[in-house]
Amino acid sequence: MISKRAQNVPASPIRRLVPYADAAKAKGIHVYHLNIGQPDIKTPKQWHEYIQKFKTEVVAYTHSQGIKPLREKFAEYYHKWNINVEPDEIMVTNGGSEAILFALGVVCDPGDEVIVIEPFYANYAGFAAYLNVKLVPVTAKPENGYRMPTMDDFEKVISPKTKAILFSNPSNPTGVVYTKEELEIIANIAKKFNLVVISDEVYREFTFDNTKAISMFEFEELRENNLIIVDSLSKRYSACGARIGTFVTKNKDFYAAALKLAQARLCPPEITQYGAIGLLNTDEEYMKNAMNEYRLRRDVAYDEISKIPGIIAHKPQGAFYLSAKLPVDDSEEFIKWMLSEFNVDGKTTMVAPLSGFYATKGLGKSEIRIAYVLESEKLKDAINIMAKAIEAYNNR
């Protein structure tokens, strides 16, 4: 009864082990959730102000590309980041998620190939499977700090069916922020083989240690025709439930094609579009404070995890994730065990197994992703519990 398409969509590795966490909670165990990128930072007050001001007799459909005042506000925001796009080159989407779906849907036919840098944001695999698009991985290795693969690595996987390169910078799940030279590899490949770059920049503002997330918009050779930027307000303003993202392109054909997809789903919710204007009016202080908090957590997460004997981890420079190779044979089995069999004073920890962030079968088997979305003391406790769990797991 179930289509092959639906059967082929993988379950999210971030949510797949939730039943184990639920079972632990049912036994009265406190579970530290480091498995999902749900920030605990307060949403800016401007969100609530705009939502409260929203009074209307009829809650109506909006334009499919999103309300104009919001697209104008986004254009203003992007200009500040030297992404010089106009409101008509911005489409408001139901989260960055829908922008990814639109981008793949506009660029690819069934059977086409898209290059991804693995480990990659796991939902790319879900969307690709939904559209019958094949993700072709180029591997970034934990031993190399998950840095950008070489030009050669990319060239090796190009086929007549390759249509695009999809990647996130700063990277979910590795926290790597690519340098200009690394991004040049992507730009050069795209130019040489006339590929579209789908640049997922939802963590643009999450960078530490004086690194800067360079937008692919800076590459003039891509900008006009070969670039789609995916963006989202979810993480930036701790507003994951607002479901507001954008699909940004200067390529008029891509925009027109995406608009047809957007028309089929009518529009994003009207009220959250107004709330999103409030989010884009947030003062700089909010962002500064949030980044200070995330920097502190990044330091705590990295310091604590580095103490685990036999671990391979590199200090992440962006987003709010850290990927690491653990001294266990199978991280998914380990996480299940940690949730079902292990606790310290009634507390245990949940992280995400990294194998689901790879397209190559068998890779990432000992790796995990931590989302450092808890305040420092809890984070420290959660990682210490995991360290003890590793020791107990390997001695059992």
Ligand X SMILES: Cc1ncc(COP(=O)(O)O)c(C=O)c1O
- Binding to ligand X by CB under 6 A, coded x per residue (else -) over 109-148, reads ------------x---------------------------
Q: Distance from CA of residue 124 to its chain's centroid?
A: 9
Question: What is the DSSP code (8-state) at residue 17?
Answer: T
Residue with Cβ nearer ligand X (350 or 385) = 350
User: Is residue 245 close enough to count as binding ligand X by CB under 6 A?
Assistant: yes
Residue with Cβ nearer ligand X (301 or 390) = 301
User: Is residue 240 close enough to count as binding ligand X by CB under 6 A?
Assistant: yes
User: Is residue 97 close enough to count as binding ligand X by CB under 6 A?
Assistant: yes
In the list 13, 37, 175, 275, the residue contacting ligand X (rule: CB under 6 A) is 37
The amino acid sitting at 175 is G
Paired tokens of 237 = 């303003």
CB of 12 to ligand X, least distance (A): 10
CB of 229 to ligand X, least distance (A): 11
CB of 359 to ligand X, least distance (A): 16
Of residues 179-218, those binding ligand X (CB under 6 A):
200, 202
Residue with Cβ nearer ligand X (247 or 393) = 247
Q: Residues binding ligand X: what is the number (CB under 6 A)?
A: 13
Kindly tell me the number of DSSP H helices and DSSP E strands found in the chain: 14, 13
User: Is residue 234 close enough to count as binding ligand X by CB under 6 A?
Assistant: yes
Paired tokens of 18 = 């939730």
Residue with Cβ nearer ligand X (121 or 208) = 121
Write the DSSP string, 77-145: HHHHTT----GGGEEEEEHHHHHHHHHHHHH--TT-EEEEEES--THHHHHHHHTTPEEEEEEPPGGGT
CB of 89 to ligand X, least distance (A): 19
CB of 69 to ligand X, least distance (A): 20
The window from 92-100, 218-226, 279-287, 369-377 that contacts ligand X (CB under 6 A) reads 92-100
User: Is residue 168 close enough to count as binding ligand X by CB under 6 A?
Assistant: yes
Is residue 128 within 8 A of residue 114, CB to CB? The reply is: yes
**C-alpha atoms less than 13 angstroms from C-alpha of 35 in its C-beta half-sphere:** 25
The window from 71-79, 93-101, 139-147, 204-212 that contacts ligand X (CB under 6 A) reads 93-101
DSSP three-state, residue 47:
helix
- Angle, vertex CA 123, rays to CA 282 and CA 259, nearest 5: 65
Paired tokens of 160 = 């007549």
Residue with Cβ nearer ligand X (96 or 175) = 96
Place of tokens 């989302």: 371
Q: Distance from CA of residue 151 to its chain's centroid?
A: 24
Sheet containing strand 90-94, strands side by side = 90-94, 244-248, 227-232, 196-200, 162-168, 113-118, 134-139
CB of 47 to ligand X, least distance (A): 15
The window from 95-103, 126-134, 258-266, 371-379 that contacts ligand X (CB under 6 A) reads 95-103
**Which residue is at the shortest CB distance from ligand X?**
95
CB of 295 to ligand X, least distance (A): 19
CB of 239 to ligand X, least distance (A): 9
**C-alpha atoms less than 13 angstroms from C-alpha of 227 in its C-beta half-sphere:** 26
User: Is residue 95 close enough to count as binding ligand X by CB under 6 A?
Assistant: yes
As a whole number of Å, the end-to-end CA separation of the chain is 43
Interaction site with ligand X (CB under 6 A): 37, 95-97, 121, 168, 172, 200, 202, 232, 234, 240, 245
